[in-house]
Structure 1
Amino acid sequence: MEFGCAFASTPEAAQQAWVAESLGFDYIGFYDSPALETDVWLTIAEALRSTQRIRVGTYVLIPHLRTPITQASAIATLWQRAPGRLEVAMGTGFTGRMAMGKRPLSWAFMERFIGQLRALLAGEEVEIDGAVQKLIRSPNDPLPEAIDVPLFVAGNGPKGIDVAKRCGDGLVYYGEPERAPGGFDRLVLPLHGFALEDGESATSPRLIEAARVMFTLQYHLFFDGFSGSREQLDQLPYGRDWLATIEQLPERTRHLRVHEGHMTHVNAHDRAFSERHRDALEAFARESALTPGQLGEQIDSLKARGATRIIGGHALPDWERGLRAFAAAAGLG
């Protein structure tokens, strides 16, 4: 069983990777959302530079943001810097698309892109946009003709899972854990909740702020149709209040305000909403707080469902305390 963590691409990446490695994590991933964050490939380069062992990757790459040959060139460059330590997970896009006012990519696009990327990394010629392309090597180029980098596919529904089976080296699954599909040699599942420090209350300032990030995120997911719909927002505490204030914003630029701060900080609108409904925020924090025993039970459950890697511990804004609490509770190191 491997343990990983994931963060937004920010200037803190090198320190986050160093801390994660020192605590015994096997993997650290970074989001690909250029409207909000630093460039994911430059971020990964800094994370690789600051570490020796831990594997580093995209979590997850949004293919349309760069051409296939640009993505392949970036992967090849980083592979040269740290052979065997780079991984690439790809998805259709949530904030990476929606913060730009776009819907997620189609699975037909994803399957075509994965095939093109594999061919380029294998040193093959491939037709892209009506022209044959290839990573052309010079005689002095130290890179091998073919570059073997694991390509994971992030998918929750039947189409994504099917593409992962046909085209991927593993699945990143964020659906309901009890519905995690079988048949994958590599299955990445998330661990939900925040590890408590010794003697810490579920409503401590640290836990409240960590919970605030995820508490408000669930409204974004419903609003954009990722894990529900706008019509279902009333299933969340005070969902109609959240929606009513969002709908007061100009429709043309509304997506910019909704996704502002996504997984980097809580924006002013969401902070005001979560303070206005502090009862719901504190209830969410209590539900999300995990004792070492509860965390261990969740790990065992995910292992029983076929997980080969568990992603957890990325509590914001105090990410280092979050990683240390998770590592201690999970017995890493």
Structure 2
Amino acid sequence: MRAGVVVAAHPGVEDLAVRAEELGLHSFWVYDTPMVHGDPFVTLSLCAKATRRIRLGIGATSPALRSAPASASGFASLNALAPGRIICGVGTGNTARRTLGMRPFTAAALEDFVASLQDLCAGRSTEYREGDQVRDVRFLHSGAHVNTTDPIEFVVAALGPKAAAVAGRRSAGLVSFGLLDPTAWRALHAARRDAAPASAPGHSRSYVITALHVLRDDEEHDSDAAREATGHLVLSLLDFAADTPAFATRLGHAEQEAVRLLLERRGTSATAPDRHTRLYPGYLGRIAPQDRDLVLPGLMERVALVGTRDDLRTRIAALEQAGVDELIVQPVIDPPAEMARFAELLDWMESSSAPDSRTASARWAQPERNESSQP
């Protein structure tokens, strides 16, 4: 299992990218969430200049944030700074739209956007539309301006089959936020595989974004330290539930009570038109101590990895067997120290795995790895 890190975009995180590279991590990502975090293209530009090997990803942009030409210009410019190291995560804008008080775009709009980005970033022309006007557009300058020669890796943000099918049709990989159920991952891979054209070559990667906490001896699963290390993901789920009453009704009684308390503490309601201004400040940042009680054990188990080293090895191995290629962790308390512990855990897992076990896992995962191509 490869490993990566994701952080909120802001100047200064290039030092974390350098440290991630020193630790041997495979990728370094930043979120694309305007009005909450900094600009990801500015941040990754700094990371590109400071690093030499590590792959750099944006997770995830959407057609709601920028036009395809503007987005392609950003990614191709990054590709000029870090040739062949750029990962373009694309989604419907679930979070970025909700933080603006809007709803996500459709899967059809997502697919059109991915297709346009793939064409433009490869130096091809694409159809650009404004109202009734349609024009063919392409980069009019390349060379020192942008890099359309080295490939950019495209991954589609997906929690369900529609987005996974877009990934299949566009020969793209998958990235999912807090999805730790191996059965759900097999379903996503099946949807991507079924939608992929017969001519799709090679393998496209799958990434899962989560949080991780290794328990100390005799530490409880719901300790304050565990809640703080994983609370940002749990609160993001509760924010979504508070913003989406239909989803909240599918939660258990304790989880629905946590949603009610969250709305009460933020001084808003599930129907208030300005609720996004109350729910999302500090989104995906370190939680306040007074919100620890909202980080319920069941929700921690659902979206984050908490356990002993043996517990975590079992869960990570199950994800790997389900076809997940890379585990991306967001550290929020002491990022350099958390990144080092993450790398240490994976080194321990590798060194303590029996050779027969590693071989069997590779054999099991091989069919998934051939399901679609990397563009």
Q: What is the TM-score of this pair, normalised by structure 2?
A: 0.77
Instruction: Tell me the equivalent position of 2:27.
Output: 27
Instruction: Tell me the equivalent position of 2:206.
Output: 188
1:214 maps onto 2:217 in alignment: no
Instruction: Tell me the equivalent position of 1:302.
Output: 319
Q: CA deviation at 1:31?
A: 0.6
Instruction: Tell me the equivalent position of 2:365.
Output: none
Q: CA deviation at 1:284?
A: 6.4
Deviations 1:65-97 (A, max 9, x none): 111111111111111111111111111123211
Instruction: Tell me the equivalent position of 1:123.
Output: 123
1:169 maps onto 2:185 in alignment: no
Instruction: Tell me the equivalent position of 2:157.
Output: 154
Matched position secondary structure for 2:316: helix
Q: CA deviation at 1:199?
A: 4.7
Instruction: Tell me the equivalent position of 1:51.
Output: 51
User: CA separation in 2, counterparts of 1:44 and 1:109?
Assistant: 26
Paired letter, 2:74: A
Question: Is the CA contact 1:56–1:87 (under 8 Å) kept in the aligned structure 2?
Answer: yes
User: CA separation in 2, counterparts of 1:244 and 1:72?
Assistant: 38
Farther off after superposition, 190-199 or 121-130: 190-199
1:325 maps onto 2:341 in alignment: yes
- Identity of paired residues, percent? 24
User: CA separation in 2, counterparts of 1:2 and 1:235?
Assistant: 37
Could you say if the C-alpha distance between residues 91 and 212 of structure 1 is closer, same or farther in structure 2, counting changes exceeding 3 Å?
A: same
Could you say if the C-alpha distance between residues 147 and 189 of structure 1 is closer, same or farther in structure 2, counting changes exceeding 3 Å?
A: closer
Question: Is the CA contact 1:197–1:325 (under 8 Å) kept in the aligned structure 2?
Answer: no
What is the 5 A alignment of 1:35-114?
Answer: 35-114=35-114
Could you say if the C-alpha distance between residues 235 and 12 of structure 1 is closer, same or farther in structure 2, counting changes exceeding 3 Å?
A: farther
Instruction: Tell me the equivalent position of 2:366.
Output: none
User: CA separation in 2, counterparts of 1:266 and 1:158?
Assistant: 32
- Which of 254, 259, 273 is 1:252 aligned to? 273
Paired letter, 1:11: P
Matched position secondary structure for 1:49: helix
Paired letter, 2:268: L
Deviations 1:39-87 (A, max 9, x none): 0111111112221211011111223211111111111111111111111
Paired letter, 1:315: P
Q: CA deviation at 1:172?
A: 1.4
Unaligned runs of 5+ in 1: none
What is the 5 A alignment of 1:231-246?
Answer: 231-237=249-255, 238-239=257-258, 241-242=260-261, 245=264
Deviations 1:167-198 (A, max 9, x none): 14211134433221336623424375523266
C-alpha RMSD over aligned residues? 2.9
Paired letter, 1:256: T
Q: What is the TM-score of this pair, normalised by structure 1?
A: 0.86
User: CA separation in 2, counterparts of 1:58 and 1:89?
Assistant: 5
User: CA separation in 2, counterparts of 1:281 and 1:173?
Assistant: 21
Farther off after superposition, 77-86 or 315-324: 315-324
1:178 maps onto 2:183 in alignment: yes
User: CA separation in 2, counterparts of 1:247 and 1:265?
Assistant: 16
Question: Is the CA contact 2:64–2:93 (under 8 Å) kept in the aligned structure 1?
Answer: no
Q: CA deviation at 1:254?
A: 1.0
User: CA separation in 2, counterparts of 1:191 and 1:291?
Assistant: 20
Unaligned runs of 5+ in 2: 194-202, 351-375
Question: Is the CA contact 1:219–1:236 (under 8 Å) kept in the aligned structure 2?
Answer: no
User: CA separation in 2, counterparts of 1:200 and 1:320?
Assistant: 25
Question: Is the CA contact 2:73–2:146 (under 8 Å) kept in the aligned structure 1?
Answer: no
Could you say if the C-alpha distance between residues 145 and 89 of structure 1 is closer, same or farther in structure 2, counting changes exceeding 3 Å?
A: closer
1:266 maps onto 2:299 in alignment: no
